[in-house]
Amino acid sequence: MTNKHDSPHRRHNPLTAEWVLVSPHRMTRPWQGQTETEVNTELPEYDSDCYLCPGNERTGGTLNPDYSGTFVFTNDFSALLEESPKPIDKDTNHAELFLSKEVSGTCRVICFSPNHRLTLPKMETSAILKVVRTWIAQTCELGETYRWVQIFENKGEAMGCSNPHPHGQVWATNVLPTEAEKEQLSQKQYYEKHGKPLLYSYAQSEIELGNRVIEQNSSWLAVVPYWATWPFEMLLLPLRATQRLSDLKPKEQEDLSEILKLVLTRYDNLFQTSFPYSMGWHGAPLKEQSPHWQLHAHFYPPLLRSAEVKKFMVGYELLAEAQRDLTPEQAAERLREQAVLHYSQYS
């Protein structure tokens, strides 16, 4: 049966004001992607060579404490400095084409667990809750000094992650970075027009339509967004108008750890592999009145067909615009089909 989404079309991302080309006819053939089972990647609970394991030495000689739960430290190779020198290009004759700006900030690493072999979906919900609370604490603490606190996780070698030990990062800056600036502008314009946050209205509509929903609980909604560029991209949204992580109530924090466990397990089960992705939180700039902002997390996983076949954002994507094959609706359906028991526990 053909439907209106079967032919090439473009979809608009209202958050970034960018377009994506959807070419679903390339995927109308039956699904034949292999699901390759992970080749023996059983890791030890403790690795004496890991710079994130408890008690081990990091580059520079600092010893990690014998931590339980989460552990946060300042990145030994921080991309930002708290005190930044003024920019060098001050040649006023050429200022327009050689513009630079000072930036100050700090980078930290967040260890999710002392157990080297775990990942978020393999952790107990109570342990994921500790990660959620650490994200909130970091947002509050760094938000005292910085305007933007970017919490993120690179998971898996495919996303350039240097170490399998479960960890994420936080980079805080005195300025809004480019993605934040785009979302700030679109959300402001939408709020001025409609008097509601863009992503609040969007979540309501997705619940009504249902075909892109992956998971929902009493506080959260996980969807493959209508404008997804990555094959199994996901957007995680609170159901209540919520500006930042630090606004989450205890029940919403618990619900968040539960929905994370479920959707990340679905991710792993899809190709029976530890699903790589980059994820991160976007919320209102700290200490600013921002009723137009709605807190959300983006998940950008690169895999397309199997544990081995990933989507490359190259040629057309780099030079023209993002393009995808399977529709977001098909991706959501495939994720909904997955079991919520982790494949490593199948008997």
Report the partner that residue 196 touches, choosing among Zn ion, ligand H2U, none (CB closer than 5 to 8 A by kind): none
DSSP letters spanning 131-161: HHHHHHHHHHHHHTT-SEEEEEEEESGGGT-
Pairing of strands 220-223, 213-216: antiparallel
Q: How far is the CB of 267 from ligand H2U (least distance, A)?
A: 18
Least distance in angstroms from the C-beta of 168 to ligand H2U: 7
Using CB under 6 A as the binding rule, whether residue 163 contacts ligand H2U is answered as yes
What mask, x for binding ligand H2U by CB under 6 A, covers residues 47 to 86? Answer: ----x------xx---------------xxx---------
109 part of the interface to ligand H2U, by CB under 6 A: yes
Q: From the list Zn ion, ligand H2U, none, which binds 50 (C-beta under 5 to 8 Å, kind-based)?
A: Zn ion
* Distance of closest approach, residue 303 Cβ to ligand H2U, in angstroms: 18
Residue 167 a catalytic site member: yes
Angle among Cα 130, 231, 325 to the nearest 5 degrees reads 170
Classify residue 333 by burial, with Cβ atoms within 10 Å: 0-12, 13-18, 19+: middle
Plot region of 292 (φ>0 → left; ψ -120 to 50 → alpha; else → beta):
alpha
The residue (of 113 and 219) whose beta carbon lies closer to Zn ion is 113
From the candidates 167, 282, 296, 298, which is the catalytic residue?
Answer: 167
Q: Residue 109's binding partner, choosing from Zn ion, ligand H2U, none, with beta-carbon cut-off 5 to 8 A by kind?
A: ligand H2U
Residue nearest to ligand H2U (CB): 58
Cβ closest to Zn ion, residue 52 vs residue 279: 52
Which residue lies nearer to ligand H2U by CB, 108 or 334? Answer: 108
Query: Cα-flanking dihedrals φ and ψ of residue 193, to 5°?
Result: -80, -40
Distance of alpha carbon 291 from alpha carbon 200, whole angstroms? 11
Residue 89 carries which DSSP code?
Answer: -
Q: Cβ of residue 42: shortest distance to ligand H2U, in angstroms?
A: 20
Nearer to ligand H2U, 140 or 161 (CB): 161
The whole-angstrom separation of Cα 239 and Cα 223 is 12
The residues of the shown chain that bind Zn ion, judged by CB under 5 A, are: 47, 50, 52-53, 116, 165
Q: How far is the CB of 279 from ligand H2U (least distance, A)?
A: 11
Distance CA 302, CA 314 (A): 12
β partners of residue 20:
11, 322
Please report how close the Cβ of residue 116 comes to Zn ion at its closest, in angstroms: 3
Residue 335: is it exposed, middle or buried by C-beta count within 10 angstroms (0-12/13-18/19+)?
buried
Partner from ligand H2U, Zn ion, none binding residue 58, C-beta < 5-8 Å depending on class: ligand H2U
Which listed option, Zn ion, ligand H2U, none, makes contact with residue 116 (CB within 5 to 8 Å by class)?
Zn ion
Residue in this structure with the two tokens 């946050």, named with its chain if needed = 197
- Segment lying near ligand H2U (by CB under 6 A), choices 113-121, 161-169, 205-213, 217-225: 161-169
Residue 91 phi, psi dihedral angles, 5° rounding:
-75, 100
- Going through 84-243 in order, the beta strands assigned E by DSSP cover 105-111, 148-155, 167-173, 213-216, 220-223, 234-238
The entry of Zn ion, ligand H2U, none that residue 27 binds, CB within 5 to 8 Å by partner kind: none
What are the residues whose beta carbons fall under 8 Å from the beta carbon of 25, sequence distance 6 or more? 6, 7, 8
Question: Could you give the residue numbers annotated as active site?
Answer: 167
Applying CB under 6 A, the residues found at the interface with ligand H2U are 51, 58-59, 75-77, 109, 154, 161-163, 169
